[in-house]
Structure 1
């Protein structure tokens, strides 16, 4: 599979390496392309599937730089809709009744968005990768093809995909949601998800 990655942070670098080990072709794109990165436009055009993993503050601008190359493609949204303030720390950047992925879908409605890889820092993923019992990775999407692509890439990275419903459920996995930073073994994912849905978060 050809994978374009937008965002050149630690998560992007780790997933790029793991997916390359699994036999995928990977291109990492950054708004400031350098020796080891392509442009955002090139990465978006390259991928059959795209990982979208920038800081939220740059998300809208980076979508604009894709120049429509996300149309019809599964796009894994690894963002959390928060921005940093020196006075207030991290603050939610979208309305409370919207998830980040629903906001991204409004900005790029022709992409097939799927929430994935946003619940843990890279340190947790490195520690749990490929270890039995596998760590559950929650995914939310309205698109069947995006669900399939995300599930395959989660497995290829060494984790267990767990479908947590439509995009409207993605807030459960984002900052402040009950599934954020929950290290759940795949065998316990169903019960944990049921508790999260009923938590009135």
Structure 2
């Protein structure tokens, strides 16, 4: 599959590196072509030969699937470069770093409204780039979307993750809020991982089950 990244930062490089290793063709796109070239070189040096660099426009045109990995405040504008019929993976989190709340809720939904015909899928927003550089086997990756969810689920599996169906795009705001909550707790010194030790047991009493 041909994948373009809109952005040449840490998240784009981490995920693109894994997809190249899985056999996909990737173009790293950025406003600064030199930075995109450097990111592509690092991916190639790490064992990924099927990677090249270009502008944001070139990467948007290149990818059947496009990873949107730019600051959230420009996400809607940059997503407008993607043609109808293609799939955009939104991994952004619009955080207000003063109190770790959402600065602009529902970025994924805003993209879908602003760019008609593009399949927007929310995924990969709950972990930092360091996780995606060396993802643990079996890591659950929630996905929200109305179209092309199966395509993104395949890309999750390609990096050793487990796709978790999290509902339609209308639920993407919940993924974004979950990221804000978790990051705020982590910055405050809390143990986010310890919050969900056995969700099956926790919800078993309130969810309908077999009698």
Report the TM range for the smaller structure's normalisation: 0.7 to 0.9
Secondary structure, aligned partner of 2:3:
strand
- If you compute each CA radius of gyration, which structure gives the higher value, 1 or 2? 2
Cα deviation, 1:55-104, whole Å, max 9, x if unaligned, reads: 1122133234x1xx3311111111112355xxx36552325xxx221111
Distance 1:162 1:51 in 2: 18
Cα deviation, 1:6-34, whole Å, max 9, x if unaligned, reads: 11111110111111111100001112222
Secondary structure, aligned partner of 1:174:
helix
Whether the 8 Å contact between 2:101 and 2:180 is mirrored in structure 1 is no
Corresponding position of 2:43: none
Select the residue among 29, 36, 56 that pairs with 2:72: 56
Runs of 4+ in 1 over 4 A off after TM superposition: 176-184
Distance 2:66 2:99 in 1: 29
Corresponding position of 1:169: 171
Select the residue among 56, 60, 63 that pairs with 1:47: 63
Structure 2 gap ranges (5+): 38-52, 184-191
Structure 1 gap ranges (5+): none
Judged with a 3 Å threshold, the aligned counterparts in structure 2 of structure 1 residues 140 and 183 are, in CA distance, closer, same or farther, namely: farther
Whether the 8 Å contact between 2:15 and 2:133 is mirrored in structure 1 is no
Judged with a 3 Å threshold, the aligned counterparts in structure 2 of structure 1 residues 33 and 89 are, in CA distance, closer, same or farther, namely: farther
- When the two structures are superposed, what TM-score results if normalisation uses the length of structure 1? 0.77
Distance 1:135 1:169 in 2: 20
Judged with a 3 Å threshold, the aligned counterparts in structure 2 of structure 1 residues 44 and 183 are, in CA distance, closer, same or farther, namely: farther
Distance 2:136 2:99 in 1: 34
Q: How does 1:11-90 map to 2 (within 5 A)?
A: 11-34=11-34, 36=37, 37-64=53-80, 66=81, 69-82=82-95, 88=98, 90=100
Distance 1:100 1:80 in 2: 8
- When the two structures are superposed, what TM-score results if normalisation uses the length of structure 2? 0.73
Cα RMSD (Å): 3.0
Secondary structure, aligned partner of 1:5:
strand
Secondary structure, aligned partner of 2:28:
strand
Whether the 8 Å contact between 1:174 and 1:180 is mirrored in structure 2 is no
Corresponding position of 1:140: 144
Whether the 8 Å contact between 1:172 and 1:178 is mirrored in structure 2 is no
Greater per-residue helix proportion: 2
